[in-house]
Structures are given as C-alpha cells and as structure tokens.
Amino acid sequence: MESFLIKGGVPLHGEITISGSKNAALPIMAATLLTGEPCVIRRVPDLSDTRFMARILESLGAEAKLAGGTLTVRARKIRGYADYELVRKMRGSICIMGPLLGRLKKARVSLPGGCIIGARPINLHLKGFEALGAKVEIEGGYIDAAARQLAGASVFLGGRAGSTVLGTANVMMAATLAEGVTVIESAACEPEVVDLANFLKAMGAKISGAGSPTITIIGVPKLHGAEHEVIPDRIEAATFAIAAAATDGEVMLRGARADHLRAVLDKLNEAGVLIQVRGGNLRVRRGKKLNAVDVTTLPYSGFPTDVQAQMMSLLALAPGISIITERIFESRFMHVSELARLGADIEIEGPSAIVKGGRPLSGAPVMASDLRASAALVIAGLAAGGTTQVNRIYHLDRGYEGMDVKLRRLGARIQRVQEK
C-alpha cells in the first residue's frame, strides 16, 4: 500500500482548481441508467470511486468510458442485477437501485458493506421504494425490489440524523418514471441533490423543489440522453481552505462555490481565517491569530460532517478550548487518537470532542481510518514540524483527485511512497 510522506512547516501559497464533486458525480453516473440514449457528464473527478462506478455501469450492460474528466455512457440494454463483489466495495453504489427500479421495474442489488464512521442504514431508501408500489424483500444479503408499475406517492424521508442524501437521490430517480406525482417530504437539501435534479431535468424529468425539504416529481413515460457538468466539490474546497489556514499560507481556490460553503466559511471566519470571495473563486489566508470555536455538525445547510475532522486539525492549533459535536455519525472521531500522536490534546466526551488547542504539532507515523480522517491527518502533517507519514492513503484516493499533486503545486513537501 501507498502512503504520504510529508515534511511539514511550509506555508501553502498559490492557486489550485477545485475538482468536480464526488458526491454529486456518483448518483449522476447512476442516473444514466434511466435512458438508453447517450449521456455525457463533464468534470467527473478521477477517483477510485468514480472509476469503480463506471465499472458497475459496464457490469450492468452499459457502455461507459471515463477519460479526461468526461464520462460517456450509453445504457441501451441493461440488466437489473448487481452482485456482491461489485457493490461491497463502495457504499455509494446503492444509488444504482433507484434507476434500475425506475427503468426496469425490478432490481436485485447486494446490500452494501459496513462503514467505519458509523451505521448508514438504507431503510429509508427501501421505505421510499415501497411507497412507490415496489415489493421489497431482503434475503441472502441481497435486496430484491419489483413492481408491475411504479405509482407516485407521498414519501417522508426524515431519519434519526435528519434527511438522507442518497435515499433522496434514489427515490427521486425511481420516481421520474413512475405514473403520477411523487412528493418527497424531509428531502435532503444538499447541493449534490440539486445537481442530480438538474441532470434529471436535462433528461426530460419534471422535478421542482430540489434544494428544499419538499421535492415534487411528476412522472414521465421516458427519459432521453443529456449532457451535464458536475458542480465543484465543496468538501475538497473546504479541505484546502483549512490546509491554507493551518499552515499560515495564502491560497486561491478556483471554481469554489461560496454559496455551497456558508457554514464552513462562517466558522473559519470565526476562527480567525480571512476569506475573500472573488467571483467563482475564494482566496484564503490566516489572520493575525487563530481562535478557538465551537462546531456542531448538522445536515445541510449546517456545518458538514465531512469537514469535521479537517476542522479539528485546525482547531488543535488554535489557543483555547474548542468543542466539536458530531450529530450525524456516532463513530466519526477515529482520527482523534492519530492526531494525538502528532501532539494534539483532544478528549472525547459522548458525541463531543474537547480540543485544547495551541500546542505545537510534531511529525509522526499515523494511520488513516476513513476518507475525511485521512485529510485531517494530512493537514496536521503539513502544519507539524518534522516528518509525518500518513499510511493507508487509498482512502484519500477515493475522494480527492490528485491531492498530493495539488499540494505540491502549493509548495508542500509531500510525496507518495510505498509503505514499509
């Protein structure tokens, strides 16, 4: 396996372009299964997850080519069966179920595997399919869903930690080809849901309300091919903004959408980070000093759980006590023990992490446990004195396009090496 070797203490300076959003691209890629006509998706990030999703599309019978950030798909004839060996490798692949059920009126998909950051149940997805008239059964590790015809219905998708993003996407995709009107209440409001809705509308779907808690879909008999450009990745933008502040550098993030990052920018500003919005770009630099702040993760438009770990690395450098409360996933503090190896003083109390910041960090070997924890360790390593080795960076390759390349462009001393 590969790791990152980081010689820290170098402020980041320069500019980078934010890649397309992974969390938007995956359901949009799945949505191409809803039509037999050609679809072209641009600004698809080159990640292990997007490459794997292209493989899943091919396994279902579609012609799929991903090259140079552009995905071309034609799913003329597809099958409704996705086996365990494919789906187990990526939880996001569950979003193929809605398109398969919508187009074929049947789907057989392996239950996705577990997740280290906590339970991510799909019961709300299945509840939505049943509301549309599908009969759903789970047996032998597979989900079977089938209906003679899907019919529009009112669906409530609120869960323990709020609305479900992939569940909203799955039900919305299935409902585009259902008879009648579907109303999704307590729908996820994330920009990625809006991006999917925009692609579906380009295919001929009739959708209104995306970006609000109530989405209305009027079913149509058929969808056609379309072209679409994926939105910029707000989590990547937040990660590089935090890295700039943590290293006391100054970075221009080209293509970052400030309107997708309000909660993050607000907390960074409170923490003493200076941010200028220039058209579609963000310029980020640290102010005179960092401040301790309290952060609580919430569904959009609140502070995203996918930026919690990175923010913790920054607050470990801020003098004073910060309290970070995780309200989305119950096990998303796996990075705390690894940050402690770099010198961070953090204690866990229930759903909160108490960060006693201001101590200098020093390099050490650390182990990444998940995608965003990996990013947090990279940020801490960039800010620490000495050398940090971040192991198991395959997590990072799932969600950050060429992170080491972009960081070197900003002056970071980081290289990809084989783990010893």
Stretch among 2-11, 159-168, 183-192, 410-419 having the lowest mean pLDDT: 159-168
Q: Based on the domain organization, do 11 and 51 belong to the same domain?
A: no
Kindly state the percentage of the chain with pLDDT values over 90.
Answer: 88
Q: What is the mean pLDDT of the chain?
A: 94
Q: Note whether 44 and 6 are same-domain residues.
A: no
The residue segments making up the domain with residue 272 are 2-19+232-418
DSSP 299: S
Q: What is the average per-residue pLDDT within 52-70?
A: 95
pTM assigned to the model: 0.96
Phi, psi dihedral angles at 82 (to 5 degrees): -125, 120
Quick one: pLDDT band at residue 112, thresholds 50, 70, 90? confident
Instruction: Quote the CA–CA distance of 112 and 97 in Å, as a whole number.
Output: 11
pLDDT at 119 over 60: no
Same domain, 114 and 155: yes
Q: Are residues 198 and 301 in the same domain?
A: no
Residue that terminates a domain, selected from 214, 229, 244: 229
pLDDT in tens, 308-359: 999 999 999 999 999 999 999 877 899 999 999 999 999 999 999 999 999 9
Residue 114 has pLDDT above 50, yes or no: no
Residues 93-113 have a mean pLDDT of 91
| Residues with active-site annotation | 115
Please tell me whether residues 203 and 155 are part of one structural domain: yes
**Could you say which of 196, 229, 262 is where a domain stops?**
229
Going across the sheet that includes 2-7, the strands are: 365-367, 387-391, 2-7, 413-418
Residues 10 and 45 in one domain: no
Residues 143 and 284 in one domain: no
Q: How many domains does the chain have?
A: 2
Q: 216 with 237, same domain? A: no
Query: So what's the pLDDT on residue 332?
Result: 87
Residue after which a domain boundary falls, among 198, 229, 260: 229
Question: How many C-beta atoms surround the C-beta of residue 349 within 10 A?
Answer: 9
Q: Which residues pair with 138 in a beta bridge?
A: 143
Rounded mean pLDDT, 103-131: 78
